Amino acid sequence: MRTTITLDDALLSEAKALAASRGTTLSAVIGDALREVFARQAQPRAPLPPLPVFHGDGLMPGIDLDDGGGLWDLQDEEAGWRDRR
């Protein structure tokens, strides 16, 4: 099938050079590149590893997960940081 596409000049130059080095056509290089992209997309992705599970009695007293600033303050306290304001 004949079609027209627009390519970046540098990309077109690279594709032409690759075709010349392989002794093939520009159309074959572009076709191979598209087939490779489609094949990668068709491959199933590896499942994500399961999230770690921690057992315990829940949050420590005074911890509020909705208070991001407070959580940072608690982390700073445990790390030995002082309020430098």
Q: Domain map of the chain by residue range?
A: 9-42
Largest CA distance in the chain: 72
Gap between the Cα atoms of 15 and 29, Å rounded: 7
Gap between the Cα atoms of 24 and 8, Å rounded: 21
Q: Is the pTM of this model over 0.95?
A: no
pLDDT in tens, the chain (85 residues): 888 999 999 999 999 999 999 999 999 999 999 999 999 888 788 898 999 888 888 887 878 889 888 888 888 887 777 655 5
